[in-house]
Amino acid sequence: MTSTETRADRFVRELADLKVADPATGHPRLWQRLGVTLMVLGVVLGVTAYLVSHRTTSPLVQGDAITIGLGAITLGVIGSALFIRYSLTGFLRFWMARQSYELSMLAERMAGREIYELPGPDPAPAAGRPPMVASTPASTAAGTGAGSAAAPSRNSDGGAAHA
Amino acid sequence: MNALLELRGVHTAYGELSVLHGVDVRVAPGEVVALLGPNGAGKTTTLRVAAGVHPVRSGQLLLGGRDMTGATPRDLARAGVCLIPEGRGVFPNLSVRDNLTMMTFTGHSRKQIEEIAFTRFPILAERASQAAGTLSGGEQQMLALARGLATDPAVLLLDELSMGLAPLIVTRLYEQVAEIARQGVAVLLVEQFAAAALGIADHAAVLVRGRVERQGLPDGVLRAELSALYLGSSS
Ligand SMILES: Nc1ncnc2c1ncn2[C@@H]1O[C@H](COP(=O)(O)OP(=O)(O)OP(=O)(O)O)[C@@H](O)[C@H]1O
Ligand SMILES: [Mg+2]
């Protein structure tokens, strides 16, 4: 946020750099279907290869069947990769965001910084960190003393507004 | 100045239901445009189109002069289009601080975001550890705005900021919006009750049943027309 020109100009520049995915090709739904199709095709080809090799004694034909079978595996792998890429990523993204958030929370707690918790509907864990830890010097929580200097006003503030 | 955001002849629909019938709106950098109109006029839909959330049937969405029709909301958000939706755009169970922390996905650090937010809305600093759902309505809108600002928007889309708030609070919120616009952000805001919005708008448009019935300077004529619209003929 510097001057008027900068943000607007940067906006225009970034838009120019942006590749607008053709809404038709960018559809994850399509890719997902392609993935499923490929997986099914892989299975079908595998079975076909088995039948082909089963019905002949010619090693040449059996060699072809092996090749078909390998192709089937390849298709299956590509298909499942596509499927996973376009189906699970949405879900995994949130999962990862959640994980990393919880990790950073944990890190902060271990660093002894205060984490404020509202007296919410769920009872605070008894041993971990009592919600009003900062205002009660007799708190049993270990290692929360360091960062609590700024806490009392906030806690009482929040409590007052809440009550 | 060239428009940063422009809708050109936008038609759109929800399934069979046609909602917008050729809407034209332009917002230049630093400009505040107020889009007014009665319930169901298609104001929210217009914002959703501008943010890329809702697809257009025909017509164009131009950003910075470039045709961005069909771009994903994600791309637009990355580039700097920020939609603050109707209602309170906060996570009620998370604290104010956590609500802000979530915006670190934009690449700004938590510190930067809190600095932006707390400088503009000091009350949020006092409430930092309070669950957002327990804030007053006005404070929640401040938090929603602060979250929007954390994305460093170039285009800010505001949907009924004033909903359910006392006039004084609304006036204060809009002062902040005007301040944001002064920094070069293009602001398109939607309101049903016009007074506060018209106070800061450079330009106003009246949307009725999916059509821009009138646009121009937010002068007395427009005000008169609006009151006629709400109190008189419509519905
Ligand atoms: N998800 C949806 N599915 C179907 N119809 C919808 C949907 N959202 C909105 N509509 C319809 O589209 C029309 C315009 O809705 P929109 O929300 O844009 O109005 P609005 O101007 O924002 O109204 P309000 O002032 O009440 O918020 C309405 O008739 C509404 O019923
Ligand atoms: Mg609406």
Whether the pLDDT of residue A34 is over 90: the answer is: yes
Residues with C-beta less than 6 Å from any ligand 1 atom: B 14, 17, 19, 37, 39-45, 192
For the record, the structure tokens of A47 come out as 């079975």
Read off φ and ψ for residue B22, nearest 5 degrees: 85, 65
Q: Where is average pLDDT lowest: A29-38, A70-79, B174-183, B223-232?
A: B223-232
More confident call, B38 vs A126: B38
- pLDDT the model gives residue A146: 38
Residue B192's pLDDT is: 81
End-to-end CA distance of chain B: 38
Q: Do B130 and A22 touch (CB under 8 A)?
A: no
Check: CB of residue A147 under 8 Å from CB of residue A114. yes
Q: Does position A22 have pLDDT exceeding 80, yes or no?
A: no
Nearest-CA residue for ligand 1 atom 13 is: B40
ipTM for this prediction:
0.72
Q: Contact A16/B4, CB-based, under 8 Å? A: no
Q: How confident is the model at residue A125 (pLDDT cuts 50, 70, 90)?
A: very low
The answer to whether the beta carbons of residues A35 and A82 sit under 8 Å apart is yes
Instruction: For chain A, say whether B152 makes contact (Cβ under 8 Å).
Output: yes
pLDDT on residue A21: 58
Given the CA of residue B42, which atom of ligand 1 is nearest to it?
Answer: 18
Token pair 């049993």 in the structure block, residue:
A140
Is the pLDDT at A70 greater than 50? The verdict is yes
Q: Are A135 and A151 in contact (CB under 8 A)?
A: yes
pLDDT of residue A23: 54
Report the pLDDT averaged over residues A35-51: 95
pLDDT at A153: 38
Mean pLDDT of A119-133: 46
User: pLDDT digit string (tens) for B85-143?
Assistant: 988 788 999 999 999 998 887 778 889 899 989 999 999 999 999 999 999 988 999 99
A60 C-alpha vs ligand 1 centroid, how far in Å? 67
B16 contacts B38 by C-beta, under 8 angstroms:
no
Q: What is the pLDDT of residue B103?
A: 86
Question: Rounded to the nearest whole angstrom, what is the distance from the C-alpha of residue B93 to the centroid of ligand 2?
Answer: 24
pLDDT of A130 > 70? The answer is no
* Residue of B130, B134, B156, B182 best to disrupt the A interface, most CBs of A under 10 A: B130
pLDDT, mean of residues A88-102: 81
Q: What is the pTM of this model?
A: 0.68
- Domain residue spans in chain A? 27-86
pLDDT band at A75 (very low <50, low <70, confident <90, very high): very high
Residue of B11, B12, B17, B188 to mutate, ligand 1, most atoms within 8 A of C-beta: B17
Confidence of residue A108 (pLDDT cuts 50, 70, 90): confident
pLDDT tens per residue, chain B (235 residues)? 588 999 999 999 998 899 999 999 999 999 999 998 888 899 999 999 999 999 999 999 999 888 888 888 888 888 889 999 988 788 999 999 999 998 887 778 889 899 989 999 999 999 999 999 999 988 999 999 999 988 889 999 999 988 888 888 888 889 999 999 998 899 999 988 677 788 889 998 888 899 988 888 877 656 667 767 666 554 4
Phi-psi region of B210 (alpha: psi -120 to 50; beta: other; left: phi over 0): left
> What is the predicted pLDDT for the residue at B178?
92
Residue B68 phi/psi, 5-degree rounding, is -115, 20
Altogether, the residues listed in chain B come to a count of 235
